[in-house]
Structure formats: structure tokens, C-alpha cells
Amino acid sequence: MAAAAKLAVAPGAPTTTTRHRACAPLAVSSATPVTVSLSSMTHKKEATSAATAVVKKETATPTVGGPAKATLTQPLACMWQEVHGADDWRGMVEPLHPLLRTEIVRYGELVAACYRAFDLDPRSKRYLNCKHGKRQMLQAVGMDGAGYALTKYIYAAPDVALPMGVGRSCGKSRWIGYVAVASDREAARLGRRDILVSFRGTVTSSEWLANFMSALAPARFDPADPRPDVRVESGFLSLYTFDDVSGKFTTGSCRNQLLSEISHLVAKHKNEDISITLAGHSMGSSLALLLGYDLAELGLNSYPNGDTIPVTVFSFAGPRVGNLEFKNRCDELGVKVLRVVNVNDPVTKMPGVLFNESARVLAGRYELPWSKSCYAHVGVEVALDFFDAGDIACVHDLQAYIDQLLTCTNDITVASASTMEEE
């Protein structure tokens, strides 16, 4: 529906707002999310060709309080570093830059492909695995023009035991996503060779159980420097590191599969400009963030001459993953994270509903005893605001996220930093 999309403060917050022109450069941080109010819009399963379309140089960019005006937008190849967070998305989030919006939607569709390819038919021989071979998968789900070649399927299983043996078969490795690399033609459009890892969200009973294992555990990814203060959610960690030797299609942990494949692709394209993009929905966004941290901590995102390959995480409806030390270490290592969340989505507020960023310090100066057990979000947040009383499940649905991003293009009101901090 061609309805106006407005950026608004969530209900209950002070009404003070600051209006900006759409082209004004703005500083952005995780403390100043953009909230796009789309509650009056109906969900439409529109054609998703816009997600993979090249943004033209003449792009209609709306101006607050007035009609849309044509403004020159650089091709993606000229500014892909900014789109991938080289400057922490300053001036690109409030409002969303058209190139950034297009890239978020494009990566969202590449994550949605995991769901469309996932076999949920209990009678199938590929039950809870991918329905298609790597060469046909994107074409089979209607994304033949995505411009990526799949190089490896990824499988994972959490190290959990369900009570009384219920769902024991679901504890085996299941297809969790894929690794792909941009084709020559797509690499020319993108301005670099993009290595993509895409993760689906929670489906099996053991994965749901892992989501509720909210105790923090040391990551210890680098044996030479284990950093015991860097802690992550134990369920996500087990899904990432557990080695299931009984897997039907593969052996080895999700972590080992990914580190091996990405290292191979980096070595293969070492003479080109490379980006590593990790995208996931819900639980998949947690795996994407763990992988991003792991690559950077081990230094696997490096060219042979020691230069750093940028690692960017596009997180859709993602929960918190680790504590403040984990967040700070990700920032220190240069892992860029763009979190797309729906303010009505409860998953994005977990774990750490009570013990989170705001519960660490008393009166702004005194660190509380449980501070190291508090969860913290990582990165820059783009907060959508949509809710359909007739379909409560839509608040966490990936396609609903994509639909809102495709339709929010008009009038914009941005909450000031002080307003968001008060909220």
C-alpha cells in the first residue's frame, strides 16, 4: 500500500522530536535507533525484485514535510564501505539511505531463501534439511538473479538433551544455512567480491531449547588468548560449536565448517577486494554475530599482507548474544553490526529482559556486582514499528520485516538522542 511511513517515538516516550531534512548527515549510535511507524499499513507480499535491483543514480529521496525530490545517489560500487558500516552508518540511518535500504532488503531476501528451501515435510528423505542442491537452490526459490554461487551448506546441532528423550532425533545436525560468493558480474556491481553466510532462524525443538539456555558462558575462541570475561549465551554457543559426528550430510561443528570454508574463499580471492557479510534472522543472527566475532578474534579476516577484510553482520529480529565485554571486544575488533528490529518483537528484548545494558550501573557511575552477567546488544539499531492485531506472529516474521522496509519511504520524524535515552 502506498501509505506514508513515519519515524516516531514508541508509545509512552516524551513527544519532543527533532526534524531533519532527509539529506542531512547525522551521527548515529546504538543509543539512537530510528523507529519507523508503519502500524497503519497492511502487509502485502509484493514482488521482491526490488530487493536485487541496482539503485539508479537518479533516486527519489523524500524530504520531510514535502514532496519527494530527485537526488543523485552514488552507485553501490563507489560507496559500499559506507553501506557496510565503515563509518558506523553515520548519516545513513536517519533516515535510511536508499542504497542502505536496498542492501538490507537484498540480504534479508538471501536469508529468507533459507526458509523457502528448508524441507518441513516429515515424509521427505530431506526432512529438516535443504530441499535442493547447491547449484539449484537460489533458482528453485525464485532468486536466480541474486548473483551468488553457493559453495557450501552449513549444518548445526545444539548440545542439549530434551526431557524423557522427547524430540531426540531433532538433536542431530540440521541444515542451518549456506555460504555463497558473488559472481564476477555481481562483484563488479558491488565493487568487491562478497563472501556471504546466510542463516535461518529457529525451527526444531532442540533449537528452541537452546534459545532458552540463557546462562552466559566464556566463548574462548582464541586458545592463545581465551578472554574469560567475554561471555555469550550458552545455547547459541553450543549450536555454534557442538561437534555432531553422526550428521547425515556432514561432520564437524558448525564453527569448523564455516571457518574452513571462509578461509578457503579468502585464499582463493586474495588478490581482489573482499567483504565478508554475515546475515541471519532470529537465532540465525546470533550465529552470524558469533561467527563475525570468531573470524575477527582469530584474524581470519585478513589478506596475506595483513590488511583487514571488513566483516559486517546484518541482523534481522536478533536477540542479545553476549555481555558488555563481548560487545566491547566486537567493537574493538571492528566487527560491524546493523540490527534491524521491530520494537513490538519480544525476541529482540531477550535474553536479559531484566539484566541488560541499563542494569549494569547505578546512578550512572557505580558498577553493580552482577554487571558481568548483564547482556548487551552490539552495533547500530534500525527499529521498525509495526503490529497487526490480526496476525500477532507477524511481529517476528522475516518477510514482514522486509515488507516494511520496502514500503517505508515517505515523511520522516526522528526522535532526538535525549528522547531515546530517556525512553
* Residue 164 neighbours by CB under 8 Å, 6+ apart: none
Q: How confident is the model at residue 141 (pLDDT cuts 50, 70, 90)?
A: very high
* Domain assignment of residue 314, yes or no: yes
> Does any domain span residue 297?
yes
Residue 280 lies in a domain: yes
Q: CATH code at 366?
A: 3.40.50.1820
Print the domain residue range for 299: 6-422
User: Does some domain include residue 1?
Assistant: no
Task: Decide the pairing of beta strands 193-199 and 375-376.
Answer: unpaired
Q: What is the identity of the amino acid at 15?
A: T
What integer pLDDT is reported at residue 3 of this predicted model? 37
pTM of the model as a whole: 0.78
Contacts of 143 (CB under 8 A, 6+ apart): 52, 109, 110, 113
What local confidence, expressed as pLDDT, does residue 388 receive? 77
Residue 300, CA distances (Å) to 59, 116, 259 in order: 37, 31, 8
- Give the range among 24-33, 301-310, 340-349, 378-387 with minimum mean pLDDT: 24-33
pLDDT at 248 over 80: no
First CA to last CA distance, the chain:
30
As a whole number of angstroms, the distance between CA 9 and CA 16 comes to 9
Q: Pick from 85-99, 159-173, 401-415 the range whose average pLDDT is largest.
A: 85-99
Res 217: pLDDT: 94
Q: What confidence score (pLDDT) does residue 243 get?
A: 86
Lowest mean pLDDT: which of 98-112, 174-188, 213-227, 291-305? Answer: 213-227
Residue of 357, 353, 407, 417 lying closest to 384 (CA atoms):
407
Spatial separation of the C-alpha atoms in residues 72 and 204, rounded to whole Å:
46
Does 286 map to a domain?
Answer: yes
pLDDT at 367: 57
On whether residue 121 sits in a domain, the answer given is yes
Catalytic positions: 282, 345, 396
Q: Does residue 373 lie within any of the structural domains? A: yes
Query: 76-83 and 98-117 helices cross at what angle (nearest 10)?
Result: 80
63/66 Cα distance (integer angstroms): 5
Q: Which of 224-233, 386-395, 406-415 has the highest mean pLDDT?
A: 224-233
Tell me the per-residue pLDDT of 67-122, one tens digit each, with 9 for 90 and over: 444 445 578 999 999 999 999 999 999 889 999 999 999 999 999 999 999 999 99
Amino acid 368: pLDDT: 52
Q: Which residues pair with 328 in a beta bridge?
A: none
Least confident of 76-80, 98-102, 379-383, 390-394: 390-394
More confident residue, 50 or 255: 255
Lowest mean pLDDT among 14-28, 51-65, 279-293, 303-317: 14-28
pLDDT at residue 408 tops 50: yes
Number of H-type helices and E-type strands within the chain = 11, 19
CA 190 – CA 208 distance, rounded (Å): 36
User: What confidence tens digit (pLDDT) does each residue in 318-337 have?
Assistant: 999 999 999 999 999 999 99
Longest dimension (CA), the chain: 63
pLDDT at site 366 = 53
Question: Which of 75-84, 87-96, 225-234, 354-363 is predicted with the least confidence, judged by mean pLDDT?
Answer: 354-363
Distances (CA, A) of 2 to 170, 330, 390: 43, 39, 21
Contacts of 305 (CB under 8 A, 6+ apart): none
Please say if the pLDDT value at position 416 is more than 70. Answer: no
C-alpha cell at 38: 508503519
Q: At residue 372, does pLDDT exceed 70?
A: no
- AA letter at 382: V
Angular region, 409: left φ>0, alpha ψ -120 to 50, beta rest: alpha
Res 315 pLDDT > 50: yes
- The count of domains in the chain is 1
For 263-272, what is the mean pLDDT? 98
**Which is nearest to 37 in space by CA: 19, 10, 60?**
10
pLDDT at residue 256 greater than cutoff 70: yes
Instruction: State residue 176's pLDDT score.
Output: 95
**Is there a domain that residue 387 lies in?**
yes
